[in-house]
Amino acid sequence: MPRHRDKLSCKTNQRNGAFTEMTKPEHLRIETSPPVSDEIRKTTCYMCACRCGINVHMKDGQVAYIEGNRDHPVNNGVLCGKGSAGIMQHYAPSRLRAPLKRVGPRGSGEFEEISWDEALEIAAGWLAPLRQTDPSRMAFFTGRDQSQSFTSWFAQAYGTPNYAAHGGFCSVNMAAAGIYTMGGAFWEFGQPDWDRTKLFMLFGVAEDHDSNPIKIGLGKLKERGVRVIGVNPIRSGYNAIADEWVGITPGTDGLFILALVHELLRAGKVDLGYLSRYTNAGFIVNEEPNSPEKGLFLRGENGKPQVICRATGQLADYDRPDVMPNLAASYHDAGQAHRTVFQLLAERYLSDDYAPDRVAERTGISADRIKSIAAELARVAFEEEIVLDQPWTDWKGQTHDKMIGRPVSFHAMRGISAHSNGFQTCRALHLLQILLGSVEVPGGFRFKPPYPKPPEAHPKPHAGVTPGQPLDGPHLGYPMGPEHLLLDGDGRPKRIDKAFTWENPMSAHGLMHMVISNAHAGDPYKIDTLFMYMANMAWNSSMNSSEVIRMLTDTDDAGDYVIPHIIYSDAYSSEMVAYADLILPDTTYLERHDCISLLDRPICEADAAADAIRWPVVEPDRDVRGFQTVLIQLGAKLGLPGFVTDDGSPKFRDYADYMVNHERRPGVGPLAGWRGTDGEGRGRGEPNPSQIDRYIENGGFWIDHIPDEARFYKPWNKAYQEWAVDRGIFDAEAPYVFNLYVEPMRKFQLAAEGHGDIQPPDHLRARIAETMDPLPIWYPPFEDQSVDPDEYPIHALTQRPMHMYHSWGSQNAWLRQITGKNALYLPTDIWIEHGFKDGDFATVTSAHGSITVPVAHHAALNPQTVWTWNAIGKRKGAWALDKDAPEATEGFLLNHLIHELLPPKGDGLRWANSDPVTGQAAWFDLRVKIEKAEPKPAESQPAHPPIASPVGQGPNVVARKI
Partner 1 sequence: MTALPDKTDKKLGLVIDLDTCVGCHGCVTACKGWNTQHYGAPLSDTDPYGADPGGTFLNRVFSYEAQAEGRPAQTIHMPRSCLHCDDAPCVTVCPTGASYKRAEDGIVLVNEDRCIGCGLCAWACPYGARELDREAGIMKKCTLCVDRIYNENLPEEDRVPACVRTCPAGARHFGDLGDPDSDVSKLVAKRGGYDLMPDLGTKPVNKYLPPRPKDTLDTAPLTAVADEPKGFLGWLDKALEKL
Partner 2 sequence: MHPAPSVIIFTTLSGLGFGLFFWLGLGVPDVQGGSAFAFFFIAYVLSCAGLLASTFHLGNKKNAIYALSQWRTSWLSREGVAAIVTLFLFALIAVPRIFLGAEMVISGVIGSVLALITVVTTSMIYTQLKTIPRWNQPLTPVLFLLHALGGGALLAGEVKIAGWLLLALTLALFAAWRVGDRRALARGTTGDATGLAHLGAVRMLESGHTARNYVVDEMVYRVGRKHAEKLRWIALALAGALPAAILLLTPPGHITAFVALALHLLGVVIGRWLFFAEAEHVVGLYHGA
Q: Which residues bind ligand SF4 (CB under 6 A)?
A: 45, 47-48, 50-52, 75, 79-80, 82-83, 211-212
Task: Determine if 413 is a binding residue for Mo ion (CB under 5 A).
Answer: no
Task: Determine if 185 is a binding residue for Mo ion (CB under 5 A).
Answer: no
Return the residue nearest ligand SF4 (CB atom). 83
User: Cα 359 to the chain's mean position, in Å?
Assistant: 29
What is the maximum span of the chain, computed from C-alpha positions, in angstroms?
A: 114
Task: Determine if 170 is a binding residue for Mo ion (CB under 5 A).
Answer: yes
Among the listed residues 331, 533, 792, 831, the single contact to ligand MGD using CB under 6 A: 533
- Among ligand MGD, partner 2, ligand SF4, none, the one that 842 touches (CB under a kind-dependent 5 to 8 A) is none
Among the listed residues 19, 223, 301, 335, the single contact to partner 2 using CB under 8 A: 19
- Would you say 819 and 869 are in contact if contact means Cβ atoms under 8 Å apart? yes
Among the listed residues 98, 388, 818, 948, the single contact to partner 2 using CB under 8 A: 818
Which listed range, 208-216, 353-361, 498-506, 743-751, lies at the site for ligand MGD (CB under 6 A)?
Answer: 208-216
Task: Determine if 874 is a binding residue for partner 2 (CB under 8 A).
Answer: no
Task: Determine if 495 is a binding residue for partner 2 (CB under 8 A).
Answer: no
Which listed range, 4-12, 306-314, 461-469, 569-577, lies at the site for ligand MGD (CB under 6 A)?
Answer: 569-577
**CB half-sphere exposure, 219, CA atoms < 13 A:** 9
CB of 923 to partner 1, least distance (A): 23
CB of 820 to partner 2, least distance (A): 5
Letter string b/e over residues 444-454, b meaning 16 or more CB atoms within 10 A of that residue's CB: bbbbbbbbbbb
Among the listed residues 149, 569, 845, 914, the single contact to ligand MGD using CB under 6 A: 569
From CA 204, how far away is CA 419, in angstroms rounded?
11
Task: Determine if 886 is a binding residue for partner 2 (CB under 8 A).
Answer: yes
User: 208 vs 657, which CB is nearer to Mo ion?
Assistant: 208
CB of 249 to partner 2, least distance (A): 22
User: Cα torsion at 719, 722, 726, 727 (round to 10°)?
Assistant: 60
CB of 3 to ligand MGD, least distance (A): 46
Those residues whose C-beta lies under 8 Å from the C-beta of residue 96, and which sit 6 or more positions away, are 570, 571, 572, 573, 577, 583, 585, 586, 624, 950, 951
CB of 545 to partner 2, least distance (A): 22
- Among ligand SF4, partner 2, Mo ion, none, the one that 819 touches (CB under a kind-dependent 5 to 8 A) is partner 2
Those residues whose C-beta lies under 8 Å from the C-beta of residue 824, and which sit 6 or more positions away, are 796, 842, 844, 853, 854, 855, 856, 866, 867, 868, 892
Report the SS3 class of residue 641: strand
User: 536 vs 846, which CB is nearer to ligand SF4?
Assistant: 536
CB of 307 to ligand MGD, least distance (A): 35
Residue span 893-932 as binding mask against ligand MGD, x where in contact by CB under 6 A, dash where not: -xx---------------------------xx--------
From CA 183, how far away is CA 500, in angstroms rounded?
20
- Would you say 177 and 423 are in contact if contact means Cβ atoms under 8 Å apart? yes
User: 570 vs 840, which CB is nearer to ligand MGD?
Assistant: 570
752, burial (CB in 10 Å: exposed 0-12, middle 13-18, buried 19+): buried
Task: Name the residue among 298, 79, 388, 392 with its Cα closest to residue 743.
Answer: 298
Among the listed residues 143, 161, 254, 681, the single contact to ligand MGD using CB under 6 A: 143
Among the listed residues 802, 824, 847, 902, the single contact to ligand MGD using CB under 6 A: 802
Task: Determine if 872 is a binding residue for ligand MGD (CB under 6 A).
Answer: no
Task: Determine if 601 is a binding residue for ligand MGD (CB under 6 A).
Answer: no
Among the listed residues 79, 130, 206, 612, the single contact to ligand MGD using CB under 6 A: 206
The total number of residues written for the chain in this structure: 962
What are the phi and psi torsion angles at 417 (to 5°)? -90, -25
- Would you say 795 and 898 are in contact if contact means Cβ atoms under 8 Å apart? no
Those residues whose C-beta lies under 8 Å from the C-beta of residue 233, and which sit 6 or more positions away, are 247, 248, 249, 250, 415, 795, 797, 861, 862, 865, 867
Report the SS3 class of residue 306: strand
Task: Name the residue among 341, 376, 342 with its Cα closest to residue 263.
Answer: 376
**How many chain residues are in contact with ligand MGD, going by CB under 6 A?**
61
User: 338 vs 858, which CB is nearer to partner 2?
Assistant: 858
Which listed range, 196-204, 253-261, 665-673, 816-824, lies at the site for partner 2 (CB under 8 A)?
Answer: 816-824
From CA 448, how far away is CA 610, in angstroms rounded?
10
Task: Determine if 436 is a binding residue for ligand MGD (CB under 6 A).
Answer: no
Residues in 111-140 that interact with ligand MGD by CB under 6 A: none
- Among ligand MGD, partner 1, Mo ion, none, the one that 219 touches (CB under a kind-dependent 5 to 8 A) is partner 1
- Would you say 493 and 524 are in contact if contact means Cβ atoms under 8 Å apart? yes
- Would you say 97 and 114 are in contact if contact means Cβ atoms under 8 Å apart? no
User: 253 vs 440, which CB is nearer to ligand MGD?
Assistant: 253
User: 161 vs 237, which CB is nearer to partner 1?
Assistant: 237
- Would you say 629 and 655 are in contact if contact means Cβ atoms under 8 Å apart? yes
Task: Determine if 232 is a binding residue for ligand MGD (CB under 6 A).
Answer: yes
Question: According to the 3-state scheme, what is the secondary structure of 192-241?
Answer: ECCCCCCEEEEECCCCCCCHHHHHHHHHHHHHHCCEEEEECCECCHHHHH
- C-beta atoms surrounding 513 within 10 Å: 30
- Classify residue 683 by its DSSP letter: S
- Indicate the residue type of 840: D
Helix 422-435 / helix 172-182 crossing angle, nearest 10 deg: 40
Task: Determine if 315 is a binding residue for Mo ion (CB under 5 A).
Answer: no
Task: Determine if 850 is a binding residue for partner 2 (CB under 8 A).
Answer: no
Binding stretches for partner 2 (CB under 8 A) = 19-20, 23, 816-821, 856-859, 886
Binding stretches for ligand MGD (CB under 6 A) = 48-49, 143-144, 166, 169-171, 203-209, 211, 231-234, 248, 250-251, 253, 413-416, 419, 533-536, 540-541, 569-572, 574, 576, 586, 588-589, 627, 797-800, 802, 804-808, 870-871, 894-895, 923-924
Binding stretches for Mo ion (CB under 5 A) = 170
